[in-house]
């Protein structure tokens, strides 16, 4: 199966409407696609009345297509949104349209030209990774999940208040309307969730009823005589035969925190990204930093390389691809990113994997291509200025500098963060530990197996490379010269010795640049990184390690896990262990944590979430006993 989702086989009808040849069906009605979207889906789900008085409203759409339904609901949201309210739309598409085709399709609706342009400007990349687009001026996020509906829904983490079922007709695309899909929709529905669709096929009505929906026919739009509306009753009447076991709504089914004030410990890129994700949701984010200024750790480097880690398969492949796309988009929107491109040259260990990825790429050619010598060109990769990024992320947050901390204590209605001498510094509804190696100072997080390393980079005057080069070490164009490195040392090395190793690596990677280097102009900076034994980050609610190990002790003896909510420090979250890829991972992980706090749909699948959850280390410890 190809790594990249396939494009649709399109043809354009005389009236300008796109038609999918493989399904022999059109993307929107010839009678007026936008008006149909409003009648069938917006009104069919009782909008805007259903979201009035709600702080948050969550919609899931099956069949993104050209985005017509999104524009219809977005326009209604703009007209009726209450202050600080948030709209989150998730949409699934197996055959994503390219931006040029989407622009041609949406040109049929000049009445929403402004919204269409905003959407086109952020149009998702055709890649096998979820992508979240934020429109903070409207309190609106759109998350696209590429793939077949059954697979995506089976791994989705969230809860929805409304559903738009807009796949191609059941007779032409039966896989979109299967009993398993209807059962999964029910499992992901909030009590009283509304559902709307254009089809009144008997099989669809029967499957929805079996899944727990009260279904009614309503007058159709245009030439269609009828359409369906449905309301979720809260429990399916019966489960379809052969339906596979469903995932819970979260890797570990915790209650959301819904905080108004969050204390974020650490003003590096991990903490700043969490602060941005929270402030865009209207949360008061207070960032506490032990240093007197920003950039005390690795986030204080003058520049950092943003390039993808491409895995051939597995949950971490999804994580790192999604993180790369999110990082590039986020930093470009902040104006802190220089797209220089990165040429990835494989060493002996990486050659086979890179060749395989280039033969079946996970990204389109404008993002990833093969160079004549077999190297990979990441054309959209480049350099970010970490301090500028952190400042932009913290623009709406409060920052307390020179505030060392040593403990967090639970109270009846929140958490108190304390100085090393026990003095109370701040009370908050929730806490995010995003302090790198300093995680070990907080007793509840001491079970996390962090591995510390030191990295030194160099920069100075030289003949700047046309684009960044990477093969173990890297060299990138920077301020009319070059930035290169970085070392990986378990203990802090002598700066001169570390520089000598960096110079040797540069000579092997790019001898012509090394020969042009003005060594008198060189500057160095060393910082500490915190990584994990499995080289995956840590992001999520912090387990209560002692109680967790006691509750799940049977795993060590081959017994199944008990059907309980795993013990946790409710309201305490971790974003850490980012290693050398902190700048790339942080924006996505900030969203991951904020979404968990507010029971929003997670951009990542349940498999990726489990792969980065703090509890994975406790689970492995028991399995190894």
Q: From edge to edge, which strands make up the β-sheet containing 284-288?
A: 398-400, 284-288, 261-265, 430-433, 568-576, 538-543
Average pLDDT of every residue of the chain: 93
One domain for residues 20 and 169 = yes
CATH of the domain at 438: 3.50.50.60
pLDDT band at 243 (very low <50, low <70, confident <90, very high): very low
One domain for residues 26 and 73 = yes
Predicted confidence (pLDDT) at residue 50 exceeds the cutoff of 50: yes
Predicted confidence (pLDDT) at residue 245 exceeds the cutoff of 70: no
Contacts of 31 (CB under 8 A, 6+ apart): 221, 222, 223
In this prediction, residue 240 carries a pLDDT of: 37
One domain for residues 213 and 266 = no
One domain for residues 179 and 196 = yes
Ranking 108-117, 234-243, 599-608 by mean pLDDT, the lowest is 234-243
Q: Exposed, middle or buried, 83 (CB in 10 Å: 0-12/13-18/19+)?
A: exposed
Rounded to an integer, what distance in angstroms lies between the CA atom of residue 51 and that of residue 528? 47
Is residue 327 in a domain?
no
One domain for residues 19 and 130 = yes
Separation of CA 346 from chain center: 27
The string of pLDDT tens digits covering residues 332-371 is: 999 999 999 999 998 878 889 999 999 999 999 999 999 9
Tokens of 154: 């089976």
The string of pLDDT tens digits covering residues 479-519 is: 989 999 999 999 989 999 999 999 999 999 999 999 999 99
| pTM of the full structure | 0.94
In this prediction, residue 31 carries a pLDDT of: 66
Predicted confidence (pLDDT) at residue 244 exceeds the cutoff of 90: no
In this prediction, residue 410 carries a pLDDT of: 96
Predicted confidence (pLDDT) at residue 202 exceeds the cutoff of 60: yes
Predicted confidence (pLDDT) at residue 237 exceeds the cutoff of 70: no
Number of separate domains in the chain: 4
The string of pLDDT tens digits covering residues 302-335 is: 999 999 999 988 999 999 999 999 999 999 999 9
One domain for residues 577 and 498 = no
Is residue 317 in a domain?
no
Overall average pLDDT of the 269-275 stretch: 97
Q: What percent of the chain has pLDDT over 90?
A: 83
Tokens of 69: 């339904």
One domain for residues 437 and 505 = no
In this prediction, residue 249 carries a pLDDT of: 46
One domain for residues 70 and 173 = yes
Predicted confidence (pLDDT) at residue 563 exceeds the cutoff of 90: no
Rounded to an integer, what distance in angstroms lies between the CA atom of residue 513 and that of residue 458? 13
Judge whether 177 and 203 are in contact, CB under 8 Å.
yes
Is residue 421 in a domain?
no
Is residue 441 in a domain?
yes
pLDDT band at 247 (very low <50, low <70, confident <90, very high): very low
Higher pLDDT, 595 or 19: 595
Per the structure, the complete domain to which residue 371 belongs is given by 342-379
One domain for residues 507 and 553 = no
550: enclosing H helix or E strand: helix 545-551
One domain for residues 465 and 446 = no
pLDDT band at 29 (very low <50, low <70, confident <90, very high): confident
Q: What percent of the chain has pLDDT over 70?
A: 97
Domain termination site, one of 510, 531, 552: 531
Cis? peptide before 486, omega within 30° of 0:
yes
Is residue 397 in a domain?
no
Is residue 501 in a domain?
yes
pLDDT band at 30 (very low <50, low <70, confident <90, very high): low
Taking alpha carbons only, the member of 166, 214, 220, 118 closest to residue 20 is 166
Residue 377 DSSP code: E
One domain for residues 471 and 564 = no
């Amino acid at each position: 199966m190809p790594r990249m989702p396939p494009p649709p086989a399109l043809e354009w009808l005389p009236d300008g409407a796109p038609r999918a040849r493989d399904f022999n069906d059109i993307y929107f009605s010839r009678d007026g696609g936008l008006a149909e979207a409003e009648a069938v889906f917006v009104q069919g789900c009782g909008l805007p009345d259903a979201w009035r008085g709600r702080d948050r409203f969550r919609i899931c759409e099956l069949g993104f297509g050209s985005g017509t339904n999104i524009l219809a609901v977005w326009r209604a949201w703009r007209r009726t949104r209450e202050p600080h309210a948030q709209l989150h739309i998730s949409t699934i598409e197996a055959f994503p349209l390219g931006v040029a085709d989407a622009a041609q399709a949406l040109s049929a609706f000049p009445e929403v030209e402004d919204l269409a342009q905003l959407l086109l400007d952020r149009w998702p990349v055709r890649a096998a990774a979820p992508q979240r687009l934020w429109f903070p001026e409207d309190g609106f996020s759109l998350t696209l999940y590429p793939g077949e509906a059954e697979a995506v829904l089976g791994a989705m983490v969230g809860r929805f208040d409304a559903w738009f079922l807009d796949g191609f007709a059941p007779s032409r695309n039966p896989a979109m309307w299967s009993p398993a899909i209807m059962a999964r929709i029910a499992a992901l529905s909030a009590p009283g969730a509304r559902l709307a669709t254009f089809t009144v096929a008997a099989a669809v009505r029967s499957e929805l009823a079996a899944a727990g929906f009260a279904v009614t026919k309503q007058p159709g739009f245009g030439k269609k005589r009828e359409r369906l509306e449905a309301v979720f009753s809260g429990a399916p009447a019966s489960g379809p035969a052969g339906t596979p076991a469903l995932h819970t709504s979260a890797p570990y089914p915790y209650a959301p925190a819904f905080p108004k004030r969050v204390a974020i410990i650490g003003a590096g890129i991990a903490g700043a990204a969490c602060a941005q994700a929270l402030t865009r949701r209207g949360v008061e984010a207070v960032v506490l930093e032990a240093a007197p200024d920003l950039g005390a750790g690795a986030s204080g480097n003058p520049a950092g390389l943003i390039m993808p880690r491409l895995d051939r398969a597995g949950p971490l492949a999804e994580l790192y691809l999604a993180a790369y796309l999110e990082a590039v988009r986020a930093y470009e929107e902040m104006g802190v990113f220089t797209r220089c491109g990165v040429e990835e040259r494989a060493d002996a260990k990486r050659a086979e994997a890179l060749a395989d990825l280039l033969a079946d790429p996970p990204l389109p050619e404008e993002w990833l291509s093969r160079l004549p010598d077999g190297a990979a060109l990441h054309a959209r990769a480049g350099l970010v200025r970490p301090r500028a990024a952190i400042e932009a992320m913290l623009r709406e947050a409060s920052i307390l500098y020179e505030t060392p901390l040593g403990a967090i204590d639970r109270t009846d209605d929140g958490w108190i963060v304390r100085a090393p001498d026990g003095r109370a510094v701040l009370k908050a509804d929730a806490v995010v530990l995003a302090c790198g190696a300093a995680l070990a100072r907080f007793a509840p997080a001491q079970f996390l197996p962090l591995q510390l390393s030191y990295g030194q980079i160099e920069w100075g005057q030289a003949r700047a490379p046309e684009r960044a080069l990477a093969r173990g070490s890297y060299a990138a164009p920077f301020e009319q010269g070059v930035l290169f490195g970085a070392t990986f040392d378990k203990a802090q090395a002598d700066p001169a010795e570390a520089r000598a190793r960096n110079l040797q690596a540069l000579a092997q990677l790019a001898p012509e640049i090394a020969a042009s280097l003005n060594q008198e102009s060189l500057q160095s900076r060393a910082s500490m990184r915190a990584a994990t034994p499995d080289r995956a980050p840590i992001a999520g609610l912090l387990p209560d390690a002692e109680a967790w190990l006691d509750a799940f002790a049977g795993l060590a003896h081959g017994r199944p896990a008990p059907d309980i909510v795993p013990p946790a420090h409710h309201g305490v979250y971790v974003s850490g262990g980012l290693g050398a890829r902190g700048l790339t991972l942080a924006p996505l992980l900030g969203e991951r944590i904020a979404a968990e706090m507010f029971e929003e749909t997670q951009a990542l699948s349940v498999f990726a979430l489990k792969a980065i959850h703090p509890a994975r280390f406790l689970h492995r410890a028991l399995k190894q006993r």
